[in-house]
């Protein structure tokens, strides 16, 4: 199981962004949705490693959030409220979000299921750290190109949608590190799954 604890960065000098975060991820297929847990922090529960990667990268890349991913068991059955959840994955998420505040990429992974390989969680963290650095350095044009392709458009359709040539679209995706990101997402997902075995 995976617990995501997301804490707003520089919250004392910024507006409260938690309501926007709750809205942004409200339609994602989480086992327990994001809820505000304390002040400028929110927490959710899922068993889908690919979804964890998607949410962690989008939140960290915005520059507004530190993301802690806790891996391992949770007490079952899950309570109706995310805030009432308990178990090792919740404790791991708390440690992870505290470490994420001081890490490049603002993402940390902590914990593992009892039968997981010892290096799965640290390796997942390393992969996510590298991915976050790639995604957060992307230009607005590169981000728009990647978002269009991730939404399911072909490169040709995405080029038409953005009003650019196919050659320009290809160049934007290349500069944005699109292929490296896709490979990294697969790797991070596999490593998180390995940590949860």
pLDDT attached to residue 14: 85
Q: What is the mean pLDDT of residues 39-63?
A: 95
Q: What is the mean pLDDT of residues 99-103?
A: 95
Token pair listed for 19: 């309501």
Q: What is the mean pLDDT of residues 166-186?
A: 93
Q: What is the mean pLDDT of residues 8-28?
A: 91
Strand spans (E) along 9-106 = 32-38, 41-46, 65-71
Q: How confident is the model at residue 137 (pLDDT cuts 50, 70, 90)?
A: confident
Helix (H, G, I), strand (E, B) or coil at 123: helix
- pTM (two decimals): 0.91
Closest CA to 155 of 125, 179, 120, 128: 179
Instruction: Map out the domains of the chain with their CATH numbers.
Output: 2-118 (3.30.70.270)
Token pair listed for 136: 């957060």
pLDDT attached to residue 136: 86
143/8 Cα distance (integer angstroms): 22
Q: How confident is the model at residue 116 (pLDDT cuts 50, 70, 90)?
A: confident
Q: How confident is the model at residue 174 (pLDDT cuts 50, 70, 90)?
A: very high
pLDDT at 169 over 80: yes
pLDDT attached to residue 118: 85
Q: What is the mean pLDDT of residues 73-78?
A: 96
Query: Facing residues of 67 across strands?
Result: 6, 107
Q: How confident is the model at residue 114 (pLDDT cuts 50, 70, 90)?
A: confident
């Amino acid at each position: 199981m995976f617990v995501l604890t997301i804490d707003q960065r520089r919250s004392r000098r910024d507006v409260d962004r938690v309501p926007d975060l709750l809205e942004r991820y409200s339609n994602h297929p989480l086992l327990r949705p994001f809820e505000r847990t304390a002040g400028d922090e929110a927490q959710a529960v899922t068993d889908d490693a690919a979804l964890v990667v998607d949410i962690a990268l989008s939140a960290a890349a915005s520059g507004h959030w530190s993301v802690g991913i806790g891996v391992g068991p949770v007490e079952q059955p899950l309570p109706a409220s995310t805030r009432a959840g308990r178990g090792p994955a919740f404790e791991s998420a708390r440690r992870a979000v505290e470490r994420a505040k001081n890490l490049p990429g603002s993402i940390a992974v902590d914990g593992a299921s009892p039968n997981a390989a010892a290096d799965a969680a640290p390796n997942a963290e390393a992969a996510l750290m590298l991915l976050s650095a790639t995604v957060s350095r992307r230009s607005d044009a590169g981000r728009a190109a990647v978002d269009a392709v991730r939404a399911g458009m072909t490169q040709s359709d995405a080029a038409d949608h953005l009003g650019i040539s196919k050659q320009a679209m290809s160049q934007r995706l290349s500069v944005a590190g699109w292929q490296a990101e896709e490979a990294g997402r697969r790797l991070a997902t596999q490593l998180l799954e390995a940590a949860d075995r």
